[in-house]
Amino acid sequence: MTSALPFLPFSKPTIDEATIAAVGDVLRSGWITSGPKVQAFEAQMSEYFGGRPVRTFNSGTCTMEIALRIAGIGPGDEVITTPISWVATANVIIEVGATPVFADIDPLTRNLDLDKVEAAITPRTKAIIPVYLSGLPVDMDRLYAIARKHNLRVVEDAAQAFGSEWKGQRIGAFGDFVSFSFQANKNITTGEGGALVLNTPEEARLAEKYRLQGVTRSGVDGIDVDVLGGKYNMSDIMAAIGLGQFANIAAITAHRRALARHYYECFGSDFEAKSGAQLPLQAFDSSNYHLFQIILPDNGPGTRANFMRALQEGYNIGTGYHYAPIHLFTMYRERGFKEGMFPVAERIGRLTVTLPMFYAMTMADVERTVAAVKAILIK
Ligand SMILES: *Cc1c(COP(=O)(O)O)cnc(C)c1O
């Protein structure tokens, strides 16, 4: 059985013609690395986030690593995070020489369980890296109450949460460090790239050093290096894409929320009871619906692979899975993590599947996907 309909991917970027033209202008301008487009992109995002300093980078991974460095976190320090994220979230902790500590997730939000975060705090804990999976924030009031009480820094992995809100405030407009990714599948993209929202001009200057070899320039030909930086700057080519994407952020978020609403309508209120699957939480005033993830009913080994294959081969619909539990990767097992430590993360990591959700997707695409999922799961 093969669908006559065209392939429907789970994600795909939309780059409009004005953005493509703007990239052409940069390429013809004689200045293609970090320059006026980067400055304009940073200024626009700073305004969007209520005037907080924003700096751009070439990924949403180095943003978190640099935030940890600015916070002075390193060997001997513990950083608490979730096992259900892209592995970058935990890798950056190891990268700065600190120790990753995982806390299990909440089965409904699929984000860090903040009770478990509190239980994991030790005298060595220096920071928390919460992840807003699929664009759904954690309880931000509670998160920052915990951070204040235990004197911890927060590096928000908001890679998926550009455009998300908490009680009417944008994610990024408040809090401590907030890291965004502009990787190709994210709600707005620069091809690859990232941005970090910081607290003070001093932190922003330090971020500039860490992103370019630790260099400070002064006067006509003054240059000094006083910290070890890397090569993490965004180019004007990337920033031109980012500016074009950012101009559409309100429409992008609104369309994704409308698609999510249609998903819930099409699945209907009896889908979970009939199929044994679990839909994501409904959070239209906070989530940007970066991903639309369902948890499959457990049919033992191969559950997810069989479902993904059935959708692909029977209906020409692509899926993804976000994510396999980080603590069960070989490098993390070698650090002492093993099965059974975070049972909710392990179950969700095995059974979560990401259905199509992207800006160019139509309501008919949602209907087609839901019909296929129902045909596979409801016997
Ligand atoms: C995309 C993503 C990252 C990494 O971003 P890059 O720009 O690819 O480095 C980190 N964490 C989460 C949750 C992500 O979705």
88 lines ligand 1 (CB under 6 A): yes
Yes or no: say if 136 and 287 are a contact pair by the CB < 8 Å rule. Answer: yes
Domain boundary pick from 246, 280, 304: 246
Give the model confidence (pLDDT) of 235-289 as tens digits: 999 999 999 999 999 999 999 999 999 999 999 999 999 999 999 999 999 999 9
Instruction: Give residue 1 CA to ligand 1 midpoint distance, Å.
Output: 36
Give the model confidence (pLDDT) of 72-98 as tens digits: 999 999 999 999 999 999 999 999 999
pLDDT attached to residue 83? 98
In CATH, what number is assigned to the domain containing residue 236?
3.40.640.10
Yes or no: say if 197 and 64 are a contact pair by the CB < 8 Å rule. Answer: no
pLDDT attached to residue 4? 82
pLDDT attached to residue 1? 53
Give the model confidence (pLDDT) of 367-376 as tens digits: 999 999 999 9
The count of domains in the chain is 2
Instruction: Give residue 338 CA to ligand 1 midpoint distance, Å.
Output: 24
146 lines ligand 1 (CB under 6 A): no
Residue 299 scores a pLDDT above 80? yes
Atom of ligand 1 nearest to the CA of 60: 7
Give the model confidence (pLDDT) of 97-116 as tens digits: 999 999 999 999 999 999 99
Give the model confidence (pLDDT) of 125-142 as tens digits: 999 999 999 999 999 999
Kind plus residue range of the DSSP H or E element containing 157: strand 153-157
Establish if 281 belongs to a structural domain. yes
186, 338, 374, 379: which is the annotated catalytic residue? 186
In this structure, the answer to whether residues 227 and 134 fall within a common structural domain is yes
Instruction: Give residue 2 CA to ligand 1 midpoint distance, Å.
Output: 33
In this structure, the answer to whether residues 150 and 299 fall within a common structural domain is no
Whole-angstrom distance between the N-terminal and C-terminal Cα of the chain?
Answer: 17
Instruction: Give residue 291 CA to ligand 1 midpoint distance, Å.
Output: 13
pLDDT attached to residue 117? 98
Tokens of 354: 């990401």
Question: CA–CA separation, 162 vs 180, rounded Å?
Answer: 7
Question: CA–CA separation, 254 vs 160, rounded Å?
Answer: 15
| Mean confidence (pLDDT) of the chain | 97
Mutate to test the pocket of ligand 1, among 65, 89, 155, 183 (most ligand atoms within 8 A of CB): 183
pTM of the model: 0.97
Atom of ligand 1 nearest to the CA of 181: 7
Atom of ligand 1 nearest to the CA of 322: 15
Is residue 186 part of the annotated active site? The answer reads yes
pLDDT attached to residue 379? 85
Q: Give the structural domain span for 48.
A: 17-246
